[in-house]
Amino acid sequence: MTAIAVTIAGSDSSGGAGIQADLKTFAALGVYGASAIAALTAQNTQGVSAIHDVPADFIAAQIDAVFSDLDVDAVKIGMLSNVAAIEAVAAGLKRHAARNIVLDPVMVATSGDRLLAAEAVAALCRELLPLALVVTPNLHEAAALTDAAVASSEDEMVAQALRILAFGPRYVLMKGGHGTGAESVDLLVGEEGVVRFPAPRIATDNTHGTGCTLSSAIAAGLAKGLGLNDAVRAAKVYVTAAIAAADRLAVGHGHGPLHHFYQSWSGL
């Protein structure tokens, strides 16, 4: 059987994040990728200049088209910029009994541009978090979801993860990429307790699309039949290597993209 994953997210016109990063990740990891585009962005490595929301009924139509024909093994959800989009996605996932849902609560781009309307945060918590196998917030997103200060220790990360679990997801992966120290530590918090995933912190400005890539790599692992712990571990290895190889690309004048195809592009 062909492993299939679908990404429901926003498009990044510069190709480094969003739908484009997700599909690159699926392809790099041997998974067939499908998509439902929830928003169009005019952006590059330096920032987001415009967002065009896709109508909710058309988001629903894309979801129905994909799920009615393809046997989808995993779902990655990224940028959903308004309440109507969130509600349409939640209804579509319920309608098709979607499984292995990885929710990346995208709120702010690497450049600092806000991507999720403030009033949509409550809808995200109410409609989508209960459907997710795992939610993957970074430190700033977790603080926004819990109305708290940004966590500055692993204990605080766990405490915020437990508060997010109360919304209904089975697991929360607290990402430590925005933290400090020699290691970037992600914490998977769920029914089995806390699992720690450390990796060396890499000094580079080319981190555009890191969160999108990690969540889609987890979805790819789940689509191929890995358990969640193994899917997170494999995704962390992939993303760390893609960040380490990012400076081999020369793309844009701001926060450049990861090197999604570091394993297969010769000479780069």
- Superfamily of structural domain 4-248: Ribokinase (3.40.1190.20)
Of 162, 180, 118, the closest CA to residue 144 belongs to 118
The closest alpha carbon to 32, from 62, 6, 61, 59, belongs to 6
Catalytic: which of 209, 213, 236, 256? 209
pLDDT given at position 189: 98
Catalytic residue among 175, 213, 221, 240: 175
Residue 224 annotated in active site: no
* pLDDT, position 92: 98
Mean pLDDT by 10 residues, the chain (268 residues): 96 95 98 97 91 96 98 96 95 98 82 67 94 96 90 95 97 82 87 92 88 97 98 96 91 92 82
Cβ neighbors of 58 (< 8 A, separation 6 or more) are none
Cα gap 91→81, rounded to integer Å:
16
Contact 128, 89 (CB under 8 A): yes
Q: Which of 63, 73, 79 is nearest to 21 (CA)?
A: 79
227 carries an active-site annotation: no
Per-residue model confidence (pLDDT) at position 115: 63
pLDDT of residue 180: 61
Q: Is residue 175 among the annotated active site residues?
A: yes
pTM tops 0.85, yes or no: yes
- Residue 212 designated active-site: yes
Is 209 among the catalytic positions? Answer: yes
Q: Which of 207, 221, 236, 256 is catalytic?
A: 207
d(C-alpha 23, C-alpha 5), whole Å:
9
The HSE-up count of residue 37 (CA atoms within 13 Å, CB side) is 15
Catalytic residue among 179, 211, 221, 256: 211
* pLDDT given for residue 94 in this prediction: 98
Q: Let me know if 10 is a catalytic residue.
A: no
